[in-house]
Amino acid sequence: RKRVDWALKQVGIYDLRERSPHEVSGGQQQRVAIASVLAMRPELIVLDEPTSFLDPLSAEKIFKVIHELNTKLGITVVLVEHRLDLTARYSNRIII
Query: Amino acid letter at 24?
Result: V
pLDDT score of 77: 96
CA separation (Å) from 70 to 16, 17, 18, 43, 91? 23, 23, 27, 10, 9
pLDDT at position 42 over 90: yes
Residues 6+ apart with CB under 8 A from 65: 10, 11, 12, 31, 34
pLDDT at position 6 over 90: yes
pLDDT at position 80 over 90: yes
Question: Per-residue pLDDT tens for 44-66?
Answer: 999 999 998 889 998 999 999 99
pLDDT score of 53: 85
Query: Amino acid letter at 3?
Result: R
61 inside domain: yes
What is the percent of the chain with per-residue pLDDT over 70, rounded to a whole number? Answer: 100
Assess contact for 17 and 5: CB atoms under 8 A: yes
Task: Give the CATH number of the domain where residue 54 resides.
Answer: 3.40.50.300
28 inside domain: yes
Query: Amino acid letter at 1?
Result: R
Domain of 41, in residue numbers: 2-90
96 inside domain: no
84 inside domain: yes
